[in-house]
């Protein structure tokens, strides 16, 4: 099994993690996530942060509350609901210690790959998609206020 070492260029917010400290207003003295009604980090029977946050966004912003993945065409409906959100979660840092990103656009250059970047076209795409409004709606639905002042382009790495 090989090791991935990727570069990521994303437009959105860096939220941090439980391991490195959450980068949101109201984080605890040691960087703990402030209380939210959709996730309890101490409940080992529940989903992790990303899965819980995605469920919250799908239910709140895309009105997708199904949970029977064995139902006919479930994944098609879930995929369509995720597309309506216009945002997604991604992780960087490492597979063992993920740090969370809420993004509207992402590009990954995999090890050994080089990608040409047209920043003007990327910025135009983000503006046409109304990415800032979609990111704000997602943050409102999650009840999170990042310490990052506004959405921006972030260059990240992933090792895993």
Q: Residue 2: pLDDT band by 50, 70, 90 thresholds? A: low
Cα separation values, 48 from 83, 120, 153, Å = 21, 36, 26
Query: Residue 17: is its pLDDT beyond 90?
Result: yes
* Number of residues that this document lists for the chain: 160
Per-residue pLDDT at 54 exceeds 80: yes
Cα–Cα nearest to 125, from 106, 100, 102, 149? 106
Q: What is the mean pLDDT of the chain?
A: 94
Q: Which residue has the tokens 């996730």?
A: 39
First to last CA, the chain: 11
Q: How far apart are CA 135 and CA 85, in angstroms?
A: 9
* Run of H or E including 159: strand 152-159
21-22 and 98-109 beta bridge pairing: unpaired
53/114 Cα distance (integer angstroms): 32
DSSP string, 82-111: HHHH--EEEEEEESSSEEEEEEEEEEEE-T
pLDDT at 151: 98
What mean pLDDT do residues 2-17 have?
91
Give the separation between CA 45 and CA 61, rounded to whole angstroms. 25
Distance CA 86, CA 138 (A): 9
What is this structure's pTM?
0.93
pLDDT tens digits, one per residue of 76-134 = 999 999 999 999 999 999 988 999 999 999 999 998 899 999 999 999 999 999 999 99
Binned at pLDDT 50, 70 and 90, residue 39 comes out as: very high
Residue 55, pLDDT > 80, answer yes
């Amino acid at each position: 099994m090989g090791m991935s070492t990727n570069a990521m260029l994303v437009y959105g917010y860096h939220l941090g993690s439980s391991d490195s400290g959450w980068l949101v207003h109201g984080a605890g003295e040691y960087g703990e996530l402030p209380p939210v009604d959709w996730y309890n980090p101490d409940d080992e029977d529940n989903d992790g942060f990303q899965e819980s946050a995605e469920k919250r966004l799908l239910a709140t912003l895309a009105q997708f509350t199904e949970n029977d993945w064995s139902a006919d065409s479930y994944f098609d409906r879930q995929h369509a609901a995720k597309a309506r959100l216009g945002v997604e979660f991604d992780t960087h840092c490492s597979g063992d210690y993920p740090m969370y990103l809420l993004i509207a656009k992402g590009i990954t250059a995999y090890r050994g790959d080089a990608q040409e970047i047209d920043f003007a076209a990327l910025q135009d795409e983000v503006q046409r998609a109304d990415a800032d409004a979609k990111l704000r709606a997602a943050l409102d639905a999650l009840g999170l206020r990042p310490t990052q002042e506004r959405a921006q382009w972030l260059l990240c790495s992933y090792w895993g």
